[in-house]
Amino acid sequence: MCITERAQRYLSVGTPSNGFIGKHFFGLRDVPQVGFDYSFFLFQWAFAIAAAGITSGSIAERTQFVAYLIYSAFLTGFVYPVVSHWIWSADGWASASRTSGPLLFNSGVIDFAGSGVVHMVGGVAGLWGALIEGPRIGRFDHAGRAVALRGHSASLVVLGTFLLWFGWYGFNPGSFLTILKSYGPPGSIHGQWSAVGRAAVTTPLAGSTAALTTLFGKRLQTGHWNVLDVCNGLLGGFAAITAGCSVVDPWAAIICGVVSAGGLGLLRISAEDEMAGMDQTRHGGFAYAYTDEDSSSRPGRGAGGSVGGFMLKSAQTSQVAADATSPSSSV
């Protein structure tokens, strides 16, 4: 994945480019030292790995090794770079920071840290993989009834969830790329550090709310507590807030977590237990923030997020909305 991402990085960030794909910097050749240095490649490589990892969780133990190598190379070498170019490049056809043409729906798409670019891409790929392979042997009985799979280690699941929680602070606030960078009019008291802080606050708020909603929702539904469902709900909340973590207020992040947990419960697919990991990231990936275009400002004065088709509107200033596009516009 490192090799394919290195070779195809130009598909995302290469300039000049068009709305679909980048053209230059193949194999990191002739990359300028300002704006696109090697640390930026390392950061994007981690994002590509996340997309491929989501897919692998949906088809674990049922995929031949050669098939795994092929889909991993294709996903990280072509699909992810192209989709990230659409959303994060200033030339992307869906980008909110697009400068070479009209904005999508007069607003563009703000996917700050990858709800769609990373989680939905990996989730959709995992969905197709699971549908093609079908359930594992023994998952259903002869009558078609689901059979519980034993042997899961709840302790390891919780440990992995906490590791992902910790890593999400690098995923979401880290997407600003820099902290000590001022923005706004001269003399403004704001700095990029305040926007980073906002992303660091809204991320755990959405995840924790989704976890609690899942905890009590499953208790009412099944009559018992289930730590594995709570872990899935937590990750679903994180995936949902990833797009709008830089622009939504804390109260909106809480609503985002509630809606994410509710949608996750509705989207559980009985085809395969392992698809639960795909469900939380694919559903959470339907989180986008749109800026309302204003005649005097771009990207405008409003920002909102939608989770699973539901639009969550939050009162924002034009400065908050601008925070979401400025980091991503460098991709």
Residue 114 lies in a domain: yes
Residue 127 lies in a domain: yes
Tell whether the model's pLDDT for residue 158 goes beyond 90: yes
Confidence of residue 194 (pLDDT cuts 50, 70, 90): confident
Q: How does pLDDT run across 71-106, given as a tens digit for each residue?
A: 999 998 889 988 988 888 878 888 887 777 788 887
Residue 146 lies in a domain: no
Tell whether the model's pLDDT for residue 238 goes beyond 60: yes
Answer with the residue of higher pLDDT: 38 or 249.
Answer: 249
Q: Pick from 133-142, 195-204, 294-303 the range whose average pLDDT is largest.
A: 195-204
Pairwise CA distance, residues 289 & 241, whole Å? 10
Confidence of residue 176 (pLDDT cuts 50, 70, 90): confident
CATH code for the domain of 47:
1.10.3430.10
Task: Mark out the alpha helices in the chain (DSSP H runs).
Answer: 2-8, 10-13, 38-58, 65-74, 80-88, 121-133, 154-171, 192-222, 227-241, 250-266, 275-284, 318-328
Distance of CA 1 to the CA centre of its chain: 19
Average pLDDT estimate for 9-16: 52
Q: Determine the length of the chain.
A: 331
Provide the domain count of the chain: 1
Residue 125 lies in a domain: yes
Residue 161 lies in a domain: yes
Q: How does pLDDT run across 278-331, given as a tens digit for each residue?
A: 455 555 544 333 333 332 332 222 223 334 333 334 434 455 555 555 444 444
Residue 80 lies in a domain: yes
Q: Domain limits at 319?
A: 2-136+157-328
Residue 150 lies in a domain: no
Q: Are 282 and 120 in contact (CB under 8 A)?
A: yes
Which pLDDT does position 91 carry in this prediction?
Answer: 80
Which pLDDT does position 242 carry in this prediction?
Answer: 92
Identify the three-state secondary structure at position 51. helix
Which pLDDT does position 90 carry in this prediction?
Answer: 78
| Neighbouring residues of 108: CB distance < 8 A, sequence distance ≥ 6 | 94, 95, 96, 97, 98, 290, 291, 299, 325
Tell whether the model's pLDDT for residue 210 goes beyond 90: yes
Q: Of 155, 126, 156, nearest to 51 (Cα)?
A: 126
* pTM for the predicted model, two decimal places: 0.77
DSSP annotation of 118: I
Average pLDDT estimate for 179-201: 67
Residue 149 lies in a domain: no
